[in-house]
């Protein structure tokens, strides 16, 4: 089993598990996660992670990504 963390935001070193943990705590908007984890605030300004995080939110909420 792979023990490497699943990094979703490389700029801020945030893992998928951290995002999912906050989703379970009720932070269900990208802006909420941005304030808590600083995702989308690194040098890429979310160009690398924003779509993946929005997909995680949509999956968690059971809605379309649009």
pLDDT tens digit sequence for 18-43: 999 999 999 999 999 999 999 999 99
DSSP state letters, 15-32: EHHHHHHHHHTT--SHHH
| Entry field: residues in the chain | 66
CA separation for the pair 66, 54 (Å, rounded): 9
pTM: 0.89
Closest residue by Cα to residue 37 from 48, 59, 56, 21:
21
What pLDDT is attached to residue 1?
58
Task: Decide: 15 and 7 in contact? Cβ < 8 Å.
Answer: yes
């Amino acid at each position: 089993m792979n023990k490497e963390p699943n990094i979703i935001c490389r700029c801020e070193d945030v893992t998928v598990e951290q995002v999912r943990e906050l989703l379970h705590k009720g932070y269900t908007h990208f802006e909420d996660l941005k304030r808590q984890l600083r995702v989308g605030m690194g040098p890429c300004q979310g160009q690398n992670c924003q779509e993946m995080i929005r997909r995680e939110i949509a999956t968690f909420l059971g809605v379309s990504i649009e």
